[in-house]
A and B are shown apart, each in its own frame.
Chain A
């Protein structure tokens, strides 16, 4: 970090006339800009959209038809391509933000509310994953925790008869508890035995899947009187209430998501528990030496993270789905990981990333309906975005942006590498094992 700053500081001091100075100032600005995580994120989205566009073109029958006589009439190819992409992406936009082709004003603004509906479980679960990332734990178990959350919430939602407020509250708490238990298994095992949380949470995902499949075959559980592997719908009293009236699906879950975002910010940045979380994430040995109860904090990270994922599952079920089926979690668990990554594990970032990916989903539905582009392309966009934001140098290379140490010339880059090596060399950590 320090070295980048140093380099930036002395860059503008290059000798030369006023013009050169202005130029170097421009360089400086460009470099500053290319450092900004916002710019990297934006450019990653652009690259992902381009990749998506290429995929759409490659698989579109009309475009394929024009390639047949490309050399006779190249214009056809380009025109068709343009139209296909325009239609697809405008459908994506209209499905996600604002539909200017809609018949009524209500219909026109409905997409943005759909985006938020999709975003609710993504934000909640994304926050759960982000807490893990900040604490140095890779919680890959969002899927399982969401399933457990949804399962518990659903069961409470239809098996009990309670007054309006209490029923909803109980169902939400039950959902959070379900996720917390599922995350807690991984957390406690890591705390007690050092079991790698990545492996355990992956295994728990699959166990959750079979557990749900088994439950859905049990009559005492589904309470529907039919052999269909789907549970009874939750009572009205346990549903997250709508915020905008009929015609809109937006429910109180979004308030929950906002509250959770604020809570996670406070937890990580202001609370003593969050200090412990961040400490074990950065350096568990130093945390232990400073008297922090590392096993306890480890377990709590995954319990709280799992609880948030469970809450995400519960909100998804109580606000959107209402009925529990085998596919309740869809790809939410893995989407949540991408949300946390895109949000750089910061609460606000996660919130915004959740909205973005929720929008992609909402828009993807309309895009599929109107242009026949399969919604699976959203997965491609999502994964490309996340891969790119994880590798800023790649994004800079794609857009010919300068590297942090100045120009993109290779000798400099090697020097930077050497420097990193020197810093690494000063830390004896990895070789320490030998002498023990």
Chain B
């Protein structure tokens, strides 16, 4: 039963083929068997999961089951879960048992899902390979010495290895799409403001967005139905109607206008990855879509712009971790300054400290205009490119990442090289538009993701575009060997 999608599992539960408890136990056994090798989970919540599964089965017996009742999922360890450790992949929060649930967690709980545990991630979501986690790197199920991508590497690996059918994740510069691509699964970053950020530990507030990862677009739609929506607790949450994302998912793509940003196909793109993406686009033409080249001229600046804005916001967001009210506190501080400096110096890893320092510098007196303000101005130009291009086309397509999964350790000493693996995903966060990644084939024996980008609030269209591809191809069904 572990090989079934959420849609299939929901049908099976409904038909009484097995119970949620049986399903939960089966997946917990798989996690026990495979997690030591993959390191996809930081925390497994066995007892609460079984309890939730029993409740789900009871609800079903009472005729009160919804589409997600009894479906096991896992949360990226960036979402606060009441009574369960929420580490954010950091030593700083290794002891942090959240006193409250994130809105996303609360909504999915209300929908009847069963949380199996919390997935591994780059520390505070700062990374593109899941190597910065305090809990150690996650292995890519397709190749155990390769990274799963990041920062939602644990979430992606857990779905790819069939340990769980769906997960929550977050995407600040590509952290849902890039690991989805590298692990051969589907992942959606919604429009900024579509999914509440309340209880999602902030990395860069103006870029962070939660979203689902699963094997199919249909499953993403089911999850998004229960994640999206206005939240009065989040000032940046949007009061915009949430449609049923499964409606219209199978609509024809006849006449769909696809734009291919030429900046996404130039230097730096692995030619084999490029070929896979081109083949996928051919497939869309067969489905009736029209393809044309477009340009996002300012997108080439998205990586430098991002590496000012994200660290600047992060440097401030992470100031609350000071060893006073929760989290890591150093031993025997001699004075207040020592308490701050050592708690933070010992509690944060190298990449987090690096970014805090970059951000602190970018905001400091005398440099603010040259870095932060300049980046915000360029951000507008990058956004305007998207606005303009969506007057011409319905969606944009291109590679999610310039390469397939690289090996663990290969880029960890070179932060800049690492940052470039998000070169195609970052502009989407800066603009705030939605984007998803779906499996499009293989290069060098590893999965390649196709990125589909849409206009603001066009998640339904993106899911429709992804679903039609998955009906016509079976890349999303490929399972890594041994799983």
Note whether A and B form a binding pair: no
Taking Cβ atoms with an 8 Å cutoff, the residues of B that contact A are none
Taking Cβ atoms with an 8 Å cutoff, the residues of A that contact B are none
